[in-house]
Structure 1
């Protein structure tokens, strides 16, 4: 049994803080925004010791979902303004089957990591 995980770098699991799901009424395109407090990938990126795919990998029992982020935003804090406060990674899912597969992953990830769903 595979523990659901999220990776930017191969073998380096990130800890998801929050996920926001939105759907454009006019086009039906769904946007996913994942929020992380920190990214282990930042430290690995600095040292270039891990192989990267250049995408975000969501891994569970069904296999690997590979998505290319449409945006990654870094928010900084601290006295020098150089401490990462959070990172927001967004990507779009257009096809219904991709959305359904993503939701199955998120349900598994949430269950494995003690997260819950809250409708706004």
Structure 2
């Protein structure tokens, strides 16, 4: 009970419980005990206008933090870290990223989960995707995957670089300019 009491005293509502106002003001409260309910404590009444103002001020943009990941089958994260090569046109308007995966984990689960449907780069901003995916086979067995992502505008390039920055931070990659 002491824990509940300390939590109640730490809440924003506790200020109003310690400094009650009249029912014509903002808050009214009273002790509540009911034979039909196990609730035993203080009831707090906030008038509608005050409650609406609290709601309006307390909600803002919601940012969801999503771990950056790569998928070949939607819903199945690729565990293998790729070798990534970037090319960019001289005028900077377009470019291409080539991802090479040696022995990707998707080969272990593709029979159980489904077919490779594309190349998906997922982060907190959304999904970048490509269907330019090819598999490399050695002696009839899958050995690697190469995926290409083409950026046709500076905006697409910037978006891709934001994804790569997050993905490299998460997976310990570093950029080497050649």
TM-score range, shorter chain: 0.7 to 0.9
Q: Following TM superposition, by how much is the alpha carbon of 1:5 offset from its aligned partner in structure 2, in angstroms? A: 0.1
Partner of 1:63: 126
Which structure's relative contact order is higher, taking Cα pairs within 8 Å and 6+ residues apart? 1
Contact 1:75 1:87 in 2 (8 A): no
Which one of 98, 102, 105 corresponds to residue 33 of structure 1?
Answer: 98
Which one of 145, 149, 153 corresponds to residue 95 of structure 1?
Answer: 153
Which one of 98, 102, 106 corresponds to residue 164 of structure 2?
Answer: 106
What is the distance in 2 between the residues matched to 1:24 and 1:97? 14
Contact 1:28 1:94 in 2 (8 A): yes
Normalized against structure 1, the TM-score is what? 0.77
SS of structure 1 residue aligned to 2:136 = strand
**RMSD of aligned residue pairs (Cα, Å):** 2.4
Which one of 55, 74, 83 corresponds to residue 136 of structure 2?
Answer: 74
Q: 1:95 to 1:67 in 2, by over 3 A?
A: same
SS of structure 2 residue aligned to 1:119 = coil
Q: Following TM superposition, by how much is the alpha carbon of 1:92 offset from its aligned partner in structure 2, in angstroms? A: 1.2
Return 5+ residue gaps in structure 1 as ranges.
Answer: none
SS of structure 1 residue aligned to 2:165 = helix
Partner of 1:5: 69
Return 5+ residue gaps in structure 2 as ranges.
Answer: 1-64
Identify, as 1 or 2, the structure richer in helix.
2
What is the distance in 2 between the residues matched to 1:104 and 1:42? 28
Q: Following TM superposition, by how much is the alpha carbon of 1:83 offset from its aligned partner in structure 2, in angstroms? A: 4.7
More displaced, 27-36 or 96-105? 27-36
What is the distance in 2 between the residues matched to 1:26 and 1:111? 28
